[in-house]
Structure 1
């Protein structure tokens, strides 16, 4: 019963909050008001925090120092729950853009606001379109000095096992010469697993690892980079200590 009541509160908050912030964001970006950039900075964070609050979910961060000072990067994280997104988008202290499935653009209110703030839809069923989306992500990193957030598993893990990583995020980092920041999120599946509609209140933990530097690497090293990132995300989501001196095997090839 407590879980049901908690979930009803979440959905009530979600409806009101989504409409409020979407109208605010789309209005500011359509009219190109002077506070447009500030609205796209604060709006998504406040919206996600409202969903965390509505679901009774708190988030603890470790390793925020690895994002200071802010610089262009590709941030990769495991994905088990929608609450992984809310935890990251609600609290990351950097200018970020998410790469997400194109179906998100069709969600009423949310979709137009998401696009208006420069987040990047990707068509996973169309290789050419997916490559074009990654090209736009690269332009965003260069133009905005932003951090692009990607979930390289490509879908939510249903059982908590870290799935193999797709290579797009890592090719993008290598082509741009920007670091990969590994992130492990735990607790999301306990709050709202894949396919669930009810939310269990409780705590999540987000662990940010040292950046994997790619200076001197080429696209030919993509498999090695994928392996290094997968190993670090697994370590971080499991709560194990990060290897001394940063990710293993992230030195020059």
Structure 2
């Protein structure tokens, strides 16, 4: 029942929040409104799915200046978890394919998120330059250095681009781990377990 309710909620609510983010982007080019809408979207996706979030270690995260958040990527709910767990504005570095989804991709762009073309090294390098510029301007970024979600829950090898970005930007890396999201919503599935 919970899974059906979530799916009935997810599509129209995602469209509504995306439309609002695109519209807000015309008035707020900073991306703050778009990111605030992403946090709102995540809050309600977690609530409708009856998922409680438990976060620890926030007291160890620098409160001043930008950082690079890096961690494992278990499933789709990682996005909701991080949108709610990270208390300040940040830019996602996300696979470019997501930016091609009508309306949703526009919302991501308006929020100031950064597309990463994983199939082309030159384009990926350009994305890392954009991320370094955002960091220099004071915005933190979130990246999954594995490059994709895990199939079986094991940690995948980290790509070096995330670490090169950290070295280039000269900001701290804030590591995180996410547990349980793969069990809730595994890779390549919309249904909830």
Instruction: Provide the residue aligned with 1:92 in structure 2.
Output: 86
Q: Which moved more, 1:13-22 or 1:123-132?
A: 13-22
8 Å CA contact retained: 1:75, 1:180: yes
8 Å CA contact retained: 2:31, 2:110: no
Rounded to whole Å, the distance in 1 between the matches of 2:111 and 2:170 is: 25
Aligned residue for 1:148, secondary structure, equals strand
Q: Which moved more, 1:181-190 or 1:13-22?
A: 13-22
8 Å CA contact retained: 2:74, 2:186: yes
Instruction: Provide the residue aligned with 1:169 in structure 2.
Output: 162
Q: What TM-score does the superposition give when structure 2 sets the normalisation length?
A: 0.94
**Structure 2 unaligned residues grouped into runs of 5+:** none
8 Å CA contact retained: 1:94, 1:146: no
2:144 is aligned with 1:148: no
Instruction: Provide the residue aligned with 2:61 in structure 1.
Output: 67
Rounded to whole Å, the distance in 2 between the matches of 1:125 and 1:159 is: 23
8 Å CA contact retained: 1:44, 1:90: no
Moved over 4 A (4+): none
Instruction: Provide the residue aligned with 2:102 in structure 1.
Output: 108
8 Å CA contact retained: 1:7, 1:199: yes
Rounded to whole Å, the distance in 2 between the matches of 1:175 and 1:33 is: 28
2:174 is aligned with 1:178: no
Compute the RMSD of aligned alpha carbons. 1.6
Quick check: which has more Rg, 1 or 2?
1
Residues 53 and 113 of structure 1: is their aligned pair in 2 closer, same or farther, counting only changes over 3 Å? same
Q: Deviations over 1:26-52 (max 9, x none)?
A: 11212x259x75522420101011111
Structure holding more strand per residue: 1
**Structure 1 unaligned residues grouped into runs of 5+:** 201-253
The Cα shift of 1:63 comes to 0.5
2:19 is aligned with 1:26: no
Rounded to whole Å, the distance in 2 between the matches of 1:50 and 1:70 is: 28
Q: Report matched runs for 1:127-138 at 5 Å.
A: 127-138=121-132
Of 175, 182, 185, the residue aligned with 1:189 is: 182
Rounded to whole Å, the distance in 1 between the matches of 2:130 and 2:70 is: 17
Instruction: Provide the residue aligned with 2:133 in structure 1.
Output: 139
The Cα shift of 1:197 comes to 2.8
The Cα shift of 1:54 comes to 2.1
Aligned pairs, number: 193
Q: What TM-score does the superposition give when structure 1 sets the normalisation length?
A: 0.72
Rounded to whole Å, the distance in 1 between the matches of 2:126 and 2:153 is: 30
Rounded to whole Å, the distance in 1 between the matches of 2:72 and 2:42 is: 18
